[in-house]
Amino acid sequence: MSVSPEESTIDRRALLRRAAAVGLVTLPGAGLLSACATSGGGDSGDTGGGKKTAANPLGVKEDAPLDVVIFPGGYTDKYATDIHEPLYQTAFPKAKIKHEAVTEIDTTLRPRFASGTDIPDMVNNSGSKEMDFGALVNDGQLADLTPLLDAPSVHDPSKKVRDTLQKGTVDFGSYNGKPYVLFYVSTVWGVWYSGKLFTDRGWSAPSDWNAFLALCEEIKKAGITPFGYAGANAAYYMWNVILTHAAKLGGPEVVKAIDNLEDGAWKHDAIKQAATAWAEVGAKYMDKAYEGLRHTDVQLQQNQYKLAFYPSGDWLENEQKKDTPADFKYQMMPVPVKGKLSAAAVRAGAGEGYFVPAKSKNKAGGMEYLRRMLSMDGAKGFAELIKSPTVMTAGSEGVTFPPGVTSSRAAFKAAGQDTFDLTWDKDYKPLDVEARTQTNALMFGRITPDQFCERVQKKADEVKNDKSIIKFKR
């Protein structure tokens, strides 16, 4: 069974403009179970479970087991074991919670979803091997989160959960007007460096391209690698920089066209300019050995003051805290270019996705778990432990963040209205995989900027014309 591109188009509302946050990525695949999938999900919205009361608005069966799957990446899984799971256990002491820390989400869960058995009740879908959100929606594997969003907030029952969230959060996780994913963490993307190194060397973070190149030259002469990223598993950190550069030159409509699979979107002049600029950085200021390294390997080199600039989101500081010198002082700067957007512009949006499987045995429990995450205790506990803000904005009030997150929040504030986000990597995994491959080829000198644009555009056209892949429109 297949549907036409027109029939399979899902409208997204305008995404986060004044929100904040982010996440990672994965394997290709148009459908999770088969090509004969129904769009829009197969969940009726009825969570099932026990008796609904004021204290139990979702009707959780009090002794029903709960299976929680967490990706233990940059945020670790301690927030689940130390904060969120205890909150759920306190509310439902008879429930047995199974905690699963899973690094390769897609590899581990795909067989379980395909078999229809042993399906978890709540999943943190993240990492380099995350599941394809678009395919999950297409295959009817995600529960409609409307009951959760319309339930009273734990800490303020006079408000619905949806009314306690950062603007744009619900829309960002919605497909065809239905909310299927909760993006929980508020993150800003940029280029990271050591405040100590720069202070000791008398260097200042540049805000324009010529100054950036001049500083890279000075850093190189000092015997330090100016710029680097990990080609083995984090090439999307780099395509993010290229597309951020392009969006700042040509405006957010450049990346919106990519999200919408518009003809020739990857061949926009702003993308060619950005690819050309960063290919020069790759040729002159990167260590070629980085292509074979994983993200933590390259990040460790930065902590050892062997690398100056590194692109990432603001989970970086927490991810590296065990290896970071006490006086390192992570700092974030926007991609140093301006055009239709100011030099202060940044990519920012809600990220780190969580969902409740439509066919789980305890959907009510899965949604209740998310409701506890979005409580004051859940959000503040996460912010204090992980040192990153959540989309439950009140939960970050009064929390002291470390230098890096403090700088990223300051950058977000300075950007004002010049913020943007993108969705294509979450919606179309085959396109993301190809973009990563061609980004490495570009940055490590195997293809030209024109070839980069042509090759990724070719894959975008294939995705657009593949009737088995559901399409999304911003």
Q: Are residues 96 and 69 in the same domain?
A: yes
Range with top average pLDDT, 41-50, 108-117, 441-450 = 441-450
Angle at 294 between CA 186 and CA 387, to 5 degrees: 25
Residue that finishes a domain, picked among 374, 392, 415: 415
Distance in angstroms (rounded) separating the CA atoms of residues 57 and 333: 44
Q: Are residues 151 and 280 in the same domain?
A: no
Look at the chain and report how many structural domains it folds into. Answer: 2
Q: Are residues 297 and 318 in the same domain?
A: yes
Interval 275-312: pLDDT, tens: 999 999 999 999 999 999 999 999 999 999 999 999 99
- Calculate mean pLDDT across residues 142-167: 96
Angle at 162 between CA 157 and CA 166, to 5 degrees: 115
Q: Are residues 183 and 200 in the same domain?
A: no
pLDDT > 90: what percent of the chain?
Answer: 78
The model's confidence at residue 48, banded by pLDDT at 50, 70 and 90, is low
Please check whether residue 430 lies inside any domain of the structure. yes
Please check whether residue 124 lies inside any domain of the structure. yes
Q: Say if residue 25's pLDDT is above 60.
A: no
CATH number at residue 269: 3.40.190.10
Distance in angstroms (rounded) separating the CA atoms of residues 358 and 426: 19
Interval 355-405: pLDDT, tens: 999 999 999 999 999 999 999 999 999 999 998 999 998 998 999 999 999
Q: Are residues 175 and 283 in the same domain?
A: no
Which DSSP letter does residue 14 get? Answer: P
Q: Are residues 97 and 210 in the same domain?
A: no
Distance in angstroms (rounded) separating the CA atoms of residues 191 and 54: 47
Q: Are residues 434 and 411 in the same domain?
A: no
Q: Say if residue 35's pLDDT is above 60.
A: no
Q: Are residues 289 and 319 in the same domain?
A: yes
Do 422 and 244 touch, CB atoms closer than 8 A?
no
Q: What is the DSSP string of 305-343?
A: TSEEEEEEETTHHHHTTTTS-TT--EEEE--S--SSS-T
Distance in angstroms (rounded) separating the CA atoms of residues 380 and 389: 8
Q: Are residues 140 and 263 in the same domain?
A: no
Q: Are residues 341 and 355 in the same domain?
A: no
- The whole-model pTM stands at 0.80
Please check whether residue 1 lies inside any domain of the structure. no
Please check whether residue 288 lies inside any domain of the structure. yes
293: Cβ contacts below 8 Å, ≥ 6 apart: 230, 231, 232
Q: Which of 31-35, 100-104, 449-453 has the lowest mean pLDDT?
A: 31-35
Domain residues for the domain of 220 are: 189-347+424-473
Q: Are residues 203 and 164 in the same domain?
A: no
Please check whether residue 4 lies inside any domain of the structure. no
Residue that finishes a domain, picked among 397, 415, 433: 415
Please check whether residue 3 lies inside any domain of the structure. no
Distance in angstroms (rounded) separating the CA atoms of residues 313 and 323: 18
Which residue(s) pair with 101 in the sheet? 70
The model's confidence at residue 22, banded by pLDDT at 50, 70 and 90, is very low
> Tokens 């690819």 correspond to what residue?
275
Q: Are residues 366 and 240 in the same domain?
A: no
Give the closest residue to 352 by CA, choosing from 320, 302, 315, 325.
315
Distance in angstroms (rounded) separating the CA atoms of residues 433 and 38: 24
What pLDDT is recorded for position 47?
58
Which residue(s) pair with 130 in the sheet? 26
